[in-house]
């Protein structure tokens, strides 16, 4: 299965639509570093440019100033880990059907792709990529017969199961959709008479756009000329937003799901300190992701706060490296201790999450070598025991350290004096609407029956 993170951005009615999309994607770069793409509507046809790499590597002045003409645009950045990293899998994705060109940018992961794909192929659809977003476009195209684009998108949304935040561009229409559970975020804003959409509000800040609101789960917003219309694609589904967006994935200067991400992370650290603060000389984060909960942890516990682990800012996120060897190495490249701070000290490390255990294993070993007297570890995310089918790359159950080992086992073989993960209750006390979140990676309670559409799945045992 291909799992990917992504970021999406869209803009309607701006003379520099491509350039603003470029900056929007730049601000969302943390959501995907493998490929980037922008598609514009020039009034006659779609124009497109996609490439592998970071946003500034993919686009140059020629693309932004000349080729990507038009005042409507959508953009996408993709971060694929287990899937093939191919240029033809880069988005936005375009299909041409009966004289209509449709471009789509998708963030999330569908769970019934295989079934749908088989069904569509039997009816004659030919697929160009291995991404599930392509299934979406084919479904839309199939439903266009005698229907408006809005109706076709709604019909496609009712067929697919899974997580999606979508931007669709067709002629002079821009459509934005959030799936009925609302797994992935999507926000609406305005700048200089234009409407903008982005996965996170940090993209609006860069453009000095005003944040209007988040789309509701199951909402479709259609913009055409000066008209903005909102539709409900489904009403019954319970809201199940991805709590990992708040724990790790989103930028702390964003508002996501109506939450201020920075404040949320700080509260997680405070809760964590209330649950278990050891007697140590100081608290330190594993930067950057651990910083915000570590600040909350230090403030709540009253322990001194230090930055004894230094981050190299010129390396990307470690999961980019596919092999385990390379992963160990990239943790070393990424964070390195300040030697004089470690020797003889009793230290409490705070990090946002433990996934495979690579970071904690390699860095704690180093701290021991440098003579740390005690090393305690506090994590502002409960143990991740189950894979995610909705767009976060938590690999398979076999690779998740907490799926296969108890807290005391991890404590023992990593060689730490104590390990404490925030409780689910503590985590939920840090958010404003605890009932609205998906906790499947901690509990195995999947809001949508996983992969095989409810059939026995070896991964999660549903």
**Hey, which residues are catalytic here?**
6
200 binds, among ligand 5GP, Mg ion, none (CB under 5 to 8 A by kind): none
Per-residue binding letters, 268-307, with ligand 5GP (x by CB under 6 A) = ------------------x--x------------------
* Residue 123: strand, helix, or coil: coil
Residue from 352, 367, 426, 442 touching ligand 5GP (CB under 6 A): that is 352
- Residue number with the smallest Cβ distance to Mg ion: 289
* Full DSSP string of 328-365: HHHHHHHEEE-HHHHTT-EEEEEES--SSSHHHHHHHH
Contact flag: residue 185 with ligand 5GP (CB under 6 A): no
Contact flag: residue 199 with Mg ion (CB under 5 A): no
In the complex, what is the shortest distance from the CB of residue 430 to ligand 5GP, in angstroms, rounded to a whole number?
Answer: 17
Contact flag: residue 289 with Mg ion (CB under 5 A): yes
Can you tell me the distance from the alpha carbon of 395 to that of 2, in angstroms, rounded to the nearest whole number?
Answer: 10
> Tokens for 148?
């408006």
- Do the Cβ atoms of 104 and 167 come closer than 8 Å? yes
**Is 352 annotated as belonging to a binding site?**
yes
In the complex, what is the shortest distance from the CB of residue 441 to ligand 5GP, in angstroms, rounded to a whole number?
Answer: 10
Give 21 or 289: the residue with its C-beta nearer to Mg ion.
289
Give 27 or 168: the residue with its C-beta nearer to ligand 5GP.
27
Give the strand pairing for 219-224 and 46-52: unpaired
How many C-beta atoms surround the C-beta of residue 304 within 10 A?
11
Residue from 239, 330, 359, 380 touching ligand 5GP (CB under 6 A): that is 359
- Do the Cβ atoms of 8 and 187 come closer than 8 Å? no
**Is 281 annotated as belonging to a binding site?**
no
The stretch among 7-15, 27-35, 149-157, 281-289 that binds Mg ion (CB under 5 A) is: 281-289
Contact flag: residue 390 with ligand 5GP (CB under 6 A): no
Contact flag: residue 358 with Mg ion (CB under 5 A): no
Give 270 or 318: the residue with its C-beta nearer to ligand 5GP.
318
Give 18 or 402: the residue with its C-beta nearer to Mg ion.
402
* Full DSSP string of 159-200: H--B--EEEEEETTEEEEEE-TT--S--EEEEETTEEEEESS
Can you tell me the distance from the alpha carbon of 8 to that of 392, in angstroms, rounded to the nearest whole number?
Answer: 15
In the complex, what is the shortest distance from the CB of residue 354 to ligand 5GP, in angstroms, rounded to a whole number?
Answer: 4
251 binds, among Mg ion, ligand 5GP, none (CB under 5 to 8 A by kind): none
Torsion of the alpha carbons at 121, 123, 128 and 130, rounded to the nearest 10 = -40
* Residue 116: strand, helix, or coil: helix
In the complex, what is the shortest distance from the CB of residue 357 to ligand 5GP, in angstroms, rounded to a whole number?
Answer: 5
112 binds, among Mg ion, ligand 5GP, none (CB under 5 to 8 A by kind): none
Element housing 407 (H / E): helix 407-414
Contact flag: residue 355 with ligand 5GP (CB under 6 A): yes
In the complex, what is the shortest distance from the CB of residue 80 to ligand 5GP, in angstroms, rounded to a whole number?
Answer: 12
In the complex, what is the shortest distance from the CB of residue 149 to ligand 5GP, in angstroms, rounded to a whole number?
Answer: 34
Number of residues that bind ligand 5GP (CB under 6 A): 18
Residue from 248, 257, 377, 390 touching ligand 5GP (CB under 6 A): that is 248
Can you tell me the distance from the alpha carbon of 182 to that of 309, in angstroms, rounded to the nearest whole number?
Answer: 36
Question: CB-based contacts of 278: which residues, under 8 Å, 6+ apart?
Answer: 346, 348, 374, 376, 417, 418
Can you tell me the distance from the alpha carbon of 296 to that of 290, in angstroms, rounded to the nearest whole number?
Answer: 10
Residue from 357, 382, 383, 387 touching ligand 5GP (CB under 6 A): that is 357
How many C-beta atoms surround the C-beta of residue 418 within 10 A?
16
- Do the Cβ atoms of 191 and 208 come closer than 8 Å? yes
- Binding site residue list for [4Fe-4S] cluster: 242, 388, 438, 441
Residues that bind Mg ion (CB under 5 A): 289
Residues that bind ligand 5GP (CB under 6 A): 248, 286, 289, 317-319, 351-360, 392-393
């Amino acid at each position: 299965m291909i799992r990917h993170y992504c970021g999406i951005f869209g803009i309607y009615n701006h003379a520099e639509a491509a350039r603003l999309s470029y900056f929007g994607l730049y601000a969302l770069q943390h959501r995907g570093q493998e490929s980037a793409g922008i598609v514009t509507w020039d009034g006659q046809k779609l124009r497109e440019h996609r490439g592998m790499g970071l946003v500034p590597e993919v686009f140059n002045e020629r693309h932004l100033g000349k080729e990507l003409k038009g005042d409507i645009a959508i953009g996408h950045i993709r971060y694929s880990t287990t899937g093939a990293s191919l240029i033809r899998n880069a988005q936005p994705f375009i299909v041409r059907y009966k004289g209509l060109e449709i471009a789509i940018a998708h963030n999330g992961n569908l769970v019934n792709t295989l079934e749908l794909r088989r069904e569509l192929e039997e009816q004659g659809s030919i697929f160009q990529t291995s991404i599930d977003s392509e299934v979406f476009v084919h479904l839309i195209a199939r439903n266009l017969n005698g229907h408006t684009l809005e109706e076709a998108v709604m019909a496609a949304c009712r067929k697919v199961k899974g997580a999606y935040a979508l931007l669709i561009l067709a002629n002079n229409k821009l459509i934005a959709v959030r799936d009925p559970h609302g797994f992935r975020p999507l926000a609406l804003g305005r700048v200089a008479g234009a409407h903008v959409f982005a996965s996170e509000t940090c993209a609006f800040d860069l453009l000095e756009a005003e944040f209007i609101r988040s789309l509701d789960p199951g909402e479709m917003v259609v913009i055409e000329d000066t008209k903005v219309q909102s539709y409900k694609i489904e009403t019954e589904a319970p809201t199940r937003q991805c709590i990992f967006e708040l724990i790790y994935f989103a930028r702390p200067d964003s508002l996501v799901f109506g939450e201020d991400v920075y404040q949320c992370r700080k509260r997680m650290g405070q809760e964590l300190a209330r649950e278990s603060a050891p007697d140590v000389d100081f608290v330190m984060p594993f930067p950057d992701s651990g910083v915000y909960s570590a600040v909350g942890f230090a403030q709540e516990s009253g322990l001194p706060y230090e930055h004894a682990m230094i981050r190299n800012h010129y390396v990307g996120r470690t999961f980019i490296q596919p092999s385990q060897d390379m992963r160990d190495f990239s943790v070393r490249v990424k964070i390195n201790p300040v030697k004089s701070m470690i020797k003889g000290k009793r230290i409490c490390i705070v990090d946002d999450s433990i996934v495979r255990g690579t970071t904690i294993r390699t860095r704690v070993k180093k701290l021991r070598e440098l003579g740390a007297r005690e090393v305690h570890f506090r994590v502002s995310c409960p143990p991740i025991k189950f894979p995610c089918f909705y767009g976060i790359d938590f690999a398979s159950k076999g690779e998740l350290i907490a799926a296969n080992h108890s807290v005391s086992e991890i404590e023992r073989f990593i060689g730490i004096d104590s390990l404490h993960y925030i409780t689910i209750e503590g985590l939920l006390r840090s958010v404003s609407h605890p009932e609205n979140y998906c906790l499947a990676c901690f509990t195995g309670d999947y809001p949508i029956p996983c992969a095989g559409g409810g059939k026995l799945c070896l991964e999660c045992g549903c």
